[in-house]
Amino acid sequence: MNKFEQGDFYMTTISCTYTGDGETKLVHGPTGSVLETDLPPDNGGKGRRFSPTDLLASAFASCVLTIMGKMAAVRKENFEGTQISIDKIMADKPRRVAEFVLDVTFPAHFTDAQKKLYLSAVNACPVHQTLHPDVKVTVNVK
């Protein structure tokens, strides 16, 4: 646990360094894990790595799957193999994420009732709760 944990408050420090040519290096303080970003080609970059908004999309998808995984563990249900493919749709003026489209693929043995229950994780996700209300979220079940 991070030394800043206090009740309902949890803080993690991530350092970000501009390394040149449109790229940054991020270091997760508690673990030392490293991520690197690059400007996307549609914004003058070379697209060699995740863009910052790609990381936002990744955070959203992994947040939802993590919550679903916790739900499955509590329910003692086999959840392995569940996938989310997420599309990020950008807008101009202002340049921002306009929409996320999540395609969720559940295990073949899941019933419609189970799928509906697990899809509640989309709205429970803290990343989703942090998004501006103008960001459209579309969820498709495969």
* 85 and 118 co-located in one domain: yes
* 101 and 74 co-located in one domain: yes
Q: Are 38 and 47 in contact (CB under 8 A)?
A: yes
Structurally, the chain folds into a number of domains equal to 2
The boundaries of the domain holding residue 21 are 1-50
* 41 and 57 co-located in one domain: no
**The CATH number of the domain where 33 resides is what?**
3.30.300.20
Q: What pLDDT sits at residue 94?
A: 92
Contacts of 30 (CB under 8 A, 6+ apart): 2, 12, 13
* 28 and 64 co-located in one domain: no
Residue 84: which of 65, 97, 111 has the closest Cα?
65
* 114 and 60 co-located in one domain: yes
* 58 and 42 co-located in one domain: no
10-residue averages of pLDDT along the chain (142 residues): 58 95 96 96 93 97 98 96 97 94 96 96 96 97 92
Which token pair is 32?
């030392």
The pLDDT tens digits of the residues spanning 70-91 come to 999 999 999 999 999 999 999 9
Gap between the Cα atoms of 88 and 100, Å rounded: 5
- How far CA 14 is from CA of 34, 46, 129, in Å, comes to 10, 24, 21
